[in-house]
Chains A and B, each alone.
Chain A
Amino acid sequence: MQATKTPVLEAVNISKSYGEKQVLADVSFSAEEGEFVCIVGPSGTGKTTLLRTLSALGTANSGEVRVNGTAITRPPAEVSVVFQDYSRSLMPWMRVGKNIELPLRRYKLSPAERATRVTEALRDVGLEHAKDLYPWEMSGGMQQRAAIARSLAYRPQVLIMDEPFASVDAQTRADLEDLMLDIRARLGVTIVLVTHDIEEAVYLGDKVIVLSGRPASVSATVDVPLGRTRDQISTKSRPDYLELRAKIHAMIMQSPSSVSG
């Protein structure tokens, strides 16, 4: 995909080591406005490290992350993170509405404006009735929806998601995947989703970044020409979907995992 505009989020030659152990080697990719980018790689390839760098929660040893062309050194207002562990990312001592309001406190919003943002965000994720519940009064899927709502109310340009559906059951997972496609379509937000699930990556992504090797590097960037409207059953039975899935699977299997370096 040849970009003429500046990408919303761009990783440029990111390398990261913990002491002697290098985790990321020269990772580069970019996400255009409104694009759904999935980063896929087997467990332990440094996906979480990459995500921490992308959101400036951790620093890289070399390379930089750019948001709208500007290198970032601390968490930017344009980026919001949805963590895998929603039960620890939502505060159990605050009701859902208050959890969603928390990031808005730093902005000078009137109480009415704040309330509107909370209501809209809850509606966007289908949790209109949950404002006054505590997170622990809801199912896992609902809690992750609440965490997504909190990010939406913050109005980021980019949503970074770290294995967001790894701890929910299959049906809920499918629902949440479709919710994210729907949110991208309606709100035009750019989504970067990290997952170990190839099927999920191909189903959701406009583009799949394949991470492999130790230290991890980008072994391929695969465009997913399945259109923007997807369906759990019909998309997943299309021959081109299956072909892409197999292709990425093969890439991950073939990659030298421990003999590199």
Chain B
Amino acid sequence: MVPARRLLAGRWGSPLAAQLAVVAVLLVIWQITAGLGQLGAVPTPVEVGRALLAIFASGAVWEPLGTTLAGWAISLLLAVVVGIVVGFPLGTSRLAYRLSVFTLDFLRTIPALVLVPLVVLLYGSGLESTILLAFLGAVWAVIMQTIYGARDVDPTALQTFMSFRVRRWDTVRFLLVPTALPYIATGVRLAAAICLLVTISAQVVIPAGGLGEQILTAQLGGAVPTMYAYIFLCGALGVGANAAFGKLEAKALAWHPSHRKVAA
């Protein structure tokens, strides 16, 4: 991990600069091929950029953006809270884990979007529906990661706590939770991505407002550059969310080997 990054940094200045260079090259190729009419209905990046500016300038972007962000944030919060609350008992009790593992494996392989018809029947095409779908798509990631985390308590650490007669609640606080935290952080990062994907997809499919419905509306109205502008915005949201959670994780888990500033 580190050596690869160093290698890249040594040859290309910094990894960020190298990545931006790749993006720039791709944009140029896109501009040339689309400009020559080789990509059919795909507009040039310049046209997409103009459409992007336009939706911001007219203010049309804010309401759908808000709907998408709200659906995403609420579903993520629910998935994290429920996932942790359900995952911990399953991870700390061998029996509960054995009894539930089959059900969990079955439920988590159901793609959230196949539940669209059912959820729409029950809750209509509002925000609740996208929240429920995103929650159902993402909660498993948090549950599974919490289970893995709770099961990973080091036997020597546990014996240390036992020999010092550390109280039950302190054992939860200072052993179980810190052990599970890196796993939960991964679960949250996965859930954040899943929630965003399912929220936007559900908004397109149902349609249920937000950026998703704007993509559909733009396509139906023949406003192809605007459609791409919204698609681009969805991508940017995903990248931003991932970076934000990565930063948060590095801060909360500064002690963890993958975030340490000092080698052991």
Contacts and interface: CB of A to CB of B under 8 A. Distances in A.
A89 B166 CA distance: 13
A197 interface: no
A154 interface: yes
B156 A80 contact: no
B157 interface: yes
Contacts of A106: 165-167, 170
A52 B155 CA distance: 13
B174 A102 contact: yes
A240 interface: no
B160 interface: yes
Contact of A137 (B157, B164, B256, B262): B262
A106 B160 CA distance: 14
Interface in A43-68: 52, 55, 57
A88 B154 contact: yes
A93 B153 CA distance: 13
B205 interface: no
Contacts of B247: none
Contacts of A57: 159, 162-163
A91 B262 contact: no
Contact of A81 (B160, B166, B170, B257): B160
Say which size band chain B's interface belongs to: 20 to 34
A109 interface: no
Contacts of B36: none
B264 interface: yes
A106 B157 CA distance: 17
A102 B156 contact: no
A80 B164 contact: yes
A93 B159 CA distance: 17
Contacts of A83: 156, 159-160
B115 interface: no
Interface string B160-181: 1011111100100011001001
A97 B156 CA distance: 20
Say which size band chain A's interface belongs to: 20 to 34
A105 interface: yes
A91 B175 contact: yes
A126 interface: no
A246 interface: no
Contact of A85 (B156, B255, B257): B156
B134 to A, nearest CB: 31
A89 B157 contact: yes
Most buried by A among B159, B167, B170, B256: B159
Contact of A105 (B157, B160, B163, B170): B170
Contacts of B160: 81, 83, 89
Contact of B162 (A75, A77, A87): A75
B174 to A, nearest CB: 6
A234 B227 CA distance: 86
B260 interface: yes
Nearest to A147: B160
A91 B166 contact: no
A91 B178 contact: yes
Given A91-B178, A136-B264, A105 B167 contact: yes
Interface string A128-140: 0000001011000
Contacts of A91: 157, 174-175, 178
A55 B163 CA distance: 7
Top 5 nearest A-B pairs by Cβ distance? A103-B164, A88-B156, A93-B178, A136-B264, A81-B163
6 contacts: A57-B162, A103-B166, A106-B167, A136-B255, A136-B257, A150-B164
Interface of A: 52, 55, 57, 74-75, 77, 79-81, 83, 85, 87-89, 91-94, 102-103, 105-106, 134, 136-137, 150, 154
Given A81-B160, A102-B174, 8 more contacts: A55-B163, A75-B164, A81-B163, A83-B159, A91-B175, A92-B256, A93-B256, A103-B164
